Amino acid sequence: MGEFSFIEWLRKWQKRRKDVMLGIGDDCAVIDVSSDKACLITTDMLVDGTHFDLKKCTAQEAGRKAIACSISDVAAMGCQPTVAVISLCFPDHTPEKFARELYKGIWGISDTYGIEIVGGDIISGRSPFCINVTMLGRDEGLKPIRRSGARIGDAILVTGTLGGSILGRHLSFEPRLKEALVLNKNFAIHAMIDISDGLTADLNHILEESGAGAILYEDQIPVSRAAVELSKKTGCTPLHHALSDGEDYELLITLSKAQAKKVLSSGLFAGVTVSCIGEIVKGHGVRMKSSVGAIRLIRPRGYEHLKYKE
């Protein structure tokens, strides 16, 4: 059993409350808090050696990343993050300076996005440094955008360029909050997700929730320079990295082709490229259309955190 099948098991057996509008299985859960307002909630755990390497990055970068990941999850619902609580597990004998540097990173990005850290928990143990961020968001009259809304015939858009984030961008990325709010306010978005597991893996989450398939246009995938650079070391193609690497934290969006055209010509996303990379079709799974029109099935690849011993 892996991470995703365990989540399926959880979804199947978890009892439901009436005020929970959206439970396990999306970027955020959505809770009904009053007649006209919803509260979004998302949680992310990051541990040294897996999500960052404190031998190679600073405490400040680790703190920034933890907050940025949660902002990206709220952005993926098209909503505004508001407050967060942070749990920290420090290895025994962590110097005070580390904690202060960590909070420099946390506060820097929190201030930029108007988020207050309202509480937390601090423990120590015989374990690597671990940080958990739970972030709340509000819908501001906007409808939270789910993974399950993709429709046959939708265009698939993606922000930015993809692949090779391991070379640095997984620490320094700017969550696409501004772009997500512009999209939700001005266009009829059907489905949205942030790319954390990898383009094909996260697209597959949308497809499974929406009961559809997708065709990607091979020559339209926005391959990053980092993907090209990384391919020289790994022997994989830059396209492979763009399709499979995790932690791009770009937005993957589906909406009608007419709306997609308006997005692409709107001029509302200055400084951030938006690409039309494919379309939603009947069926299931992801197929790839080459520049000469050949179509092949591709297996969704990406990072699955949990591999249980069978």
Window 1 to 40, contacts with its own copies (CB under 8 A): 1, 3, 6-7, 9-10, 13-17, 19-20, 22-26, 28-29, 31, 33-34, 36-37, 39
- Whether the CB-CB separation of 44 and 69 falls below 8 Å is answered with yes
- Residue 53 makes contact with its own copies by CB under 8 A: no
Tell me the two tokens of residue 143: 């409808």
Our finding on whether 108 is near its own copies (CB under 8 A) is: no
153 sits near its own copies (criterion: CB under 8 A): no
Residue from the set 71, 76, 79, 130 that interacts with its own copies by CB under 8 A: 130
Q: Which of 54, 117, 142, 182 binds its own copies (CB under 8 A)?
A: 117
Query: Contact between 269 and its own copies (CB under 8 A)?
Result: no
Beta bridge partners of 296: 288
Q: Does 44 bind its own copies (CB under 8 A)?
A: yes
Q: Is 132 in the site for its own copies (CB under 8 A)?
A: yes
Beta carbon of residue 253, minimum distance to its own copies (angstroms, whole number): 22
Q: Which DSSP category does 19 fall into?
A: T
C-beta of 209: minimal distance to its own copies in Å?
Answer: 14
User: Quick check: 120 binds its own copies (CB under 8 A)?
Assistant: yes
Give the pair of three-digit tokens for residue 34.
Answer: 């009053």
**Shortest approach of its own copies to residue 186 CB, angstroms?**
25
Give 267: exposed, middle or buried? Use CB within 10 Å, 0-12, 13-18, 19+.
exposed
**Binding of its own copies by 296 (CB under 8 A):** no
**Interaction between residue 96 and its own copies (CB under 8 A):** yes
CB of 233 to its own copies, least distance (A): 24
Spatial CB neighbours of 159, under 8 Å, sequence gap ≥ 6: 176, 179, 250, 251, 253, 269, 272, 273, 274
Is 203:156 a contact under the CB 8 Å cutoff?
yes
Residue 307 · residue 2 · CB < 8 Å:
yes
Query: Segment near its own copies (CB under 8 A), from 108-116, 227-235, 280-288, 289-297?
Result: 108-116
Total residue count of the chain as it appears in this document: 310
Q: Is 95 in the site for its own copies (CB under 8 A)?
A: yes
* Separation in Å, CA 289 to CA 1, 233, 279: 32, 27, 11
